[in-house]
Chains A and B, each alone.
Chain A
Amino acid sequence: MRLTRRDALLATSASLVGSLLPRMALAQDTPKQGGILSAHLGSEQRILNPALRASTGVYLITSKIMEALVDLDANGNPAPVLATEWEATPDGKTVTFKLRQGVTWHDGKPFTAADVQYTALEMWKKHLNYGTQLQQYLEAVDTPDSHTAIFRYSRPMPLNLLLRALCDLGYIAPRHVFEGTNILENPANTAPIGTGPFKFVQYERGQFIVAERNPNYWRKEFPYLDRIVWRVITDKSAVAAALETGQIQVSSYNGLSLSDLDRLKEDERFEVSTRGIEANAFNNTLEFNTRRKELSDIRVRRAIAHAIDVEFFIENFLYGQGKPATGPIPSSSPAFYPGGEPPYPFDPKKAAALLDEAGYKPGSDGTRFTLKLVPIMNGEDVPLLATFIQQSLAEVGIKVEIVQLDIAGALTTVYRDWNFDLATGWHQYRGDPAVSTTVWYRSGSPKGAPWTNQWGWQSDRIDQLIDQAATEIDPAKRKALYAEWVKSVNEEIPVWMITERQFFAATSKQVRNHHNTPRWDSSDWHDTWIASS
């Protein structure tokens, strides 16, 4: 190989840059006080109270203003926030939290155990989605002194489940603001008062939300940032433009289109990654209405799964952002993930054989039967997958008609009217299978409850496994029970978990200490700072 002058020049300049870079990075590594962080908000929020509404949109904002009892640390273990210590009795029915002392609300009043008692009983147990389920056996919260809260349950509550769930479902609201008012109409629902590192300033509907530094925050010297501004941008292409022009510095939970995420991966100004969002995994799903004769046959459900080339879909439609799922518990949840292979590899021949065996021979036009597919528009990939399913199933002689509805319409059609044969959307895994995953399989869910078992399908064995695991206190035994459960539901497939995916965030490299915990976008950002450009 001949070394040209140009190559030599390039090499020296590269090494120069290389030797300069670490020093520059080093100089920037001391956290800097001040600065405004602008973040993307994809949809308008009705209320800003995480003790009443569990949703990522609400957490994105309020987690900086209000605080939960615990949050996840960098390794994904529950870490103290407003609770400093916790302990469960051996029977699992009593959990004692020691609370942090010297914490004040943004309006100056002290934070005490009475706030925890009130929030748990009046908000989590009565109004908070998923909280009402989690706390259904919560009987009382005792407050022997101002910094101790004792949760009493009528059934054993696994401590790990409770702690993991409380990161999302454990935000504390100020009792003195809500008590004696109509909780749902309290003005503090849209102008939140919390104990967090930032104080709420303004919510300009359709435009932005602003929060500013709380000088009396209990973590002394924190936070670093002066202000956080959330900009409401609903158009995904406009989000990419706002990032590129510096109007926003971070957009998470797939706020950008799949193609823009793929493009910005190559852009050195940004980090595009799933780091710091691991706690929120999701699956593309295919729900079967087993009231339909054909779909009540397990062979037909398996044939449909075998007929779809999941890897092709991920590679060509999702820009490779995902992998085939091995069951309803994602691999990013090591405490419960049982391992294994995708249960139904792509095999159209086997699919056809299974359909023949079930007695559905192709008619003169090659069609065996026709199904109605309702896409539930959780994301831009859902209609793509619906079309892909339609085309894949046509190959094995099943004709699919797609019914296009917006999300409210699709939810009603599928979950309340049961007016579907197939449905496809997302299943979101929230850290523990008992939070929002097993309800997809447990029978007895009242008609109309979305994202629960409305498939007309029931199995005593699986119901039993779910109930047993939900109250099992020993973590190892719980994991084993869930492994058995995954195996059984994979065999039965009342719902097929097609892909396993994680959300992506695009963050400007100016932002430091970002995505350093597994639910960073929903965390308090007290140690986040901005390097000067």
Chain B
Amino acid sequence: MHVLLLALRRLAASLPTLLVLLVGLFLLLQLAPGDTVDALVAQIGGGDPTMIDELRRHYGLDASVAVQLGRYIWRLLQLDLGFSAIYGKPVSEVILERLPATLLLMGSALSFAFAAGMALGVLSARRVNKWPDTVISTLGLIFYATPSFWFGLMGIVIFAVKLGWLPAGGMEEIGAGYTGLRRITDIAWHLLLPTVTLALIFLATYLRIMRASMLEVMNLDFVRTARAKGLSPRKVITAHVLRNALLPMVTLVGLQAGTMLGGSVVVESVFALPGLGRLAYESVVQRDLNTLLGIVFVSALLVIVINFIVDLLYARLDPRIVT
């Protein structure tokens, strides 16, 4: 009950931010030259003025900006995200279709980056300034400095084109009609390369943070006490250092969950995955205002939810923090 109340209070506090965000974006997009009809005409290679006027009326673009904004907010208050110009169906439906792929990709990449980053960070902190530390830190730097599309493309070239081990793209085998476990393994197979690609950059940050945080905690008094009372080095790390060193990591996960939605545009395009990032990109290029605002709305909600979970986790990790 306490948690639920807290969640509601959080949501209420975020509502004004959300509104400012949506209105700001709406107005910002008015500054972009061209509307969705221009984008459509560009795609189909031309059209005549009668058809163009007809389409503008069809999409409700013949009204003034103020009227359009008013209509949008009124619909939003009724929890209606509007109609998508490029997809010809309600925005909520379009987003719901894309959400599973995004969450799956984001969730697995984030988990992988978190787990691997933590392990490597602990490893290099325990062997600080020795060769494992140097190797891990160098690798981290390389991962961090390399653009993810390059990693993705190289992964495809090596593992799909040259070796033929993994599929080159797509979410699953089209028309294979797999069900149950077979389908799950098929999807996992297809998501392996994109997940690793997306995770590598985040992994680099996580391992740096984990290493620094471990080193800091290891010098604190209570760790010395733990050692002095004769605990094994392994026990000291797992029971005392790790838990305290995790706090900055958890903060970072919360912060990055939001950026990961945007960061996947590149990965989704390279691997032809039907995620929210690509949808957002296409909405911008096609000036599909409703879809874009809908995505921002959903992403903002997602960030709010994740940050809430992070706050709860803080309390678990460090009882001194009261939510």
Contact = CB atoms under 8 A, between A and B. Distances in A.
Interface of A: 36, 38, 43-44, 46-47, 53-58, 126-130, 132-133, 184-185, 189-190, 204-208, 210, 227, 229, 231-235, 237-238, 241-242, 244-245, 247, 405-413, 417, 428, 436, 446, 448-452
Given A36-B175, A241-B160, A450-B42, A184 B58 contact: yes
B168 A55 contact: no
Contact of B174 (A55, A205, A231): A231
Contacts of A408: 32-36, 38-39, 42, 285-287
B170 A210 contact: no
Contacts of A46: 40, 43, 85-88
Contacts of B40: 46
B54 A241 contact: no
B161 interface: yes
A245 B161 contact: yes
A237 B52 contact: no
Nearest to A447: B49
6 contacts: A127-B51, A207-B174, A238-B153, A241-B153, A245-B167, A245-B168
B271 interface: yes
B157 A55 contact: no
Interface string B55-94: 0001000000000000000000000000001111000001
Given A44-B86, A238-B156, 6 more contacts: A129-B41, A206-B274, A206-B278, A234-B272, A238-B169, A244-B168
Nearest to A377: B42
Nearest to B172: A207
Interface in B248-288: 269-272, 274-275, 278-279, 282, 285-287
Given A46-B87, A46-B88, A411 B97 contact: no
B44 interface: yes
B88 A189 contact: yes
B78 to A, nearest CB: 21
Q: Which among B164, B175, B286 has the highest number of chain A CB atoms within 10 Å?
A: B175
A130 B47 contact: yes
A58 B48 CA distance: 18
B86 A233 contact: no
A309 B256 CA distance: 49
B45 interface: yes
Contact of B51 (A132, A207, A412): A132
Given A57-B43, A408-B286, A129 B48 contact: yes
A148 B85 CA distance: 38
Contacts of B32: 408-409
A184 B51 CA distance: 12
Contacts of B50: 132
Nearest to A426: B45
A247 B164 contact: no
A206 B167 contact: no
B16 interface: no
B171 interface: yes
10 closest A-B pairs by CB: A408-B34, A206-B274, A55-B44, A129-B47, A412-B34, A408-B39, A409-B33, A241-B168, A412-B33, A407-B42
Q: Which among B32, B156, B174, B285 has the highest number of chain A CB atoms within 10 Å?
A: B174
B274 A204 contact: yes
B279 A247 contact: no
B152 to A, nearest CB: 8
B45 A428 contact: yes
A242 B274 contact: no
B198 to A, nearest CB: 15
A247 B271 contact: no
B219 to A, nearest CB: 47
B298 to A, nearest CB: 16
A316 B32 CA distance: 34
A450 B52 CA distance: 10
A452 B282 CA distance: 26
A132 B180 CA distance: 50
A208 B52 CA distance: 28
Q: Which among B33, B40, B97 has the highest number of chain A CB atoms within 10 Å?
A: B33
A206 B98 contact: yes
B167 A129 contact: no
A55 B41 CA distance: 10
Contact of A237 (B43, B270, B274): B270
Contact of A449 (B49, B85, B98): B49
Contacts of B271: 238
B46 interface: yes
Given A407-B39, A411-B38, A242 B168 contact: yes
Contacts of B51: 127-129, 132
Q: Which among A241, A412, A428 has the highest number of chain B CB atoms within 10 Å?
A: A241
Nearest to B278: A206
A45 to B, nearest CB: 8
Nearest to A451: B46
Contact of B274 (A38, A55, A207): A207
Nearest to A187: B88
Interface in B160-215: 160-161, 164, 167-171, 174-175
A43 B168 contact: no
Contacts of B269: 234-235, 238
Contact of A56 (B45, B48, B52, B97): B45
A456 to B, nearest CB: 18
Contact of A229 (B87, B175, B282, B286): B175
A442 to B, nearest CB: 12
A451 B49 contact: no
A161 to B, nearest CB: 17
B197 to A, nearest CB: 12
Q: Which among A46, A449, A452 has the highest number of chain B CB atoms within 10 Å?
A: A46
A47 B43 CA distance: 12
Contacts of A207: 170-171, 174, 272, 274
A128 B51 CA distance: 8
B48 A132 contact: yes
A36 B177 CA distance: 14
B44 A53 contact: yes
Given A46-B87, A413-B33, A247 B46 contact: no
Contact of A190 (B88, B153, B285, B287): B88
